[in-house]
Amino acid sequence: MRRLVYLGDKNCPPCRRYKREVMDPLSEKYPGCVEVHPEWDARFAKADALIPVRQVPTIIVEKDGSEEFRFSAMLEAAQLESIITHEGDVLTAEAAGA
């Protein structure tokens, strides 16, 4: 399974709603596969040092402990589930349900 790292901003109303309605339920459904960071912290700083985070929310997709890609968009829960559960070596937009 792939891992999602959500980077948000607690002062951003759309980010708070997305966290509550999409990311938190996914975190409960897929424990260990979804990290939720609603504000600047050490994990957020690590991601920003690698590639600056210019927009929130940003979701990082990791495979085997390495960042595979990241995007700044509010995908639906079903699309994020497709990313988490995709077992192939390469994740395409079609496989992610995009």
For 17-52, what is each residue's pLDDT tens digit?
999 999 999 999 999 999 999 999 999 999 999 999
Q: CA 26 to CA 49: how far, in whole Å?
A: 26
Q: What is the DSSP letter of 95?
A: T
Query: Where in the chain are the domains?
Result: 3-85
Q: CA 17 to CA 58: how far, in whole Å?
A: 14
> Does the structural domain 3-85 have CATH classification 3.40.30.10?
yes
User: Which tokens belong to 64?
Assistant: 């085997």
Q: CA 98 to CA 39: how far, in whole Å?
A: 27
**DSSP-assigned states of every residue in 45-87:** HHHHHHS---SSSEEEEEETTEEEEEE-S---HHHHHHHHH--
Q: How many CA atoms lie within 13 A of 21 on its CB side?
A: 10
Q: CA 97 to CA 23: how far, in whole Å?
A: 17
pLDDT at residue 13, as a whole number: 96
Considering the entire predicted model, what is its pTM?
0.90
Tell me: the pLDDT tens digits for 45-84?
999 999 999 999 999 999 999 999 999 999 999 999 999 9
Q: CA 65 to CA 10: how far, in whole Å?
A: 26
